[in-house]
């Protein structure tokens, strides 16, 4: 399983998501590493299909189940439309589902 977090330098939620995913993995007894990929330009955002920072992908798939419908790629803070409202991090249920937990 390949877990990666795409982010831009200075993103206020990137460290929070990285720590939170680590906690989820640890609680599940899993030891996978989260690979970090910094996105630095608008061109790279378009190329990477980067919907904002932070973006979490498992085996190349965004954990947000509706991400495939979006095309607003940019160097911006990402906002997630979670079941609990708009948030700066994806819903835990999305993460655990994507991880197969």
Digit-coded pLDDT (tens) for 26-80: 999 999 999 999 999 999 999 999 999 999 999 999 999 999 999 999 999 999 9
Tokens 């955002």 correspond to: 45
pLDDT at 23: 97
Tokens 């085996």 correspond to: 59
Predicted model pTM? 0.95
pLDDT at 39: 98
pLDDT at 33: 96
pLDDT at 70: 95
pLDDT at 48: 96
Burial annotation 19-53 (CB, 10 A radius, 16+ → b, else e) = ebbeeebeeeeeeeeeeeeebeeeebbeeeebbbb
Measured over the CA atoms of residue 85, residue 90, residue 92 and residue 98, the dihedral's sign is: positive
């Amino acid at each position: 399983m390949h877990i990666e977090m795409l982010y831009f330098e200075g993103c206020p939620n990137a460290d929070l998501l990285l720590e939170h995913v680590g906690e989820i993995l640890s609680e599940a007894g899993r030891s996978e590493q989260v690979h970090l990929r910094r996105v630095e330009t608008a061109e790279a955002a378009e190329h990477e299909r980067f919907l904002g920072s932070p973006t979490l992908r498992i085996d190349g798939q965004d954990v947000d189940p509706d991400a495939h419908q979006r095309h607003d790629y940019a160097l911006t803070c990402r906002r997630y439309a979670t079941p609990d409202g708009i948030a700066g991090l994806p819903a835990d249920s999305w993460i655990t589902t994507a991880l197969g937990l």
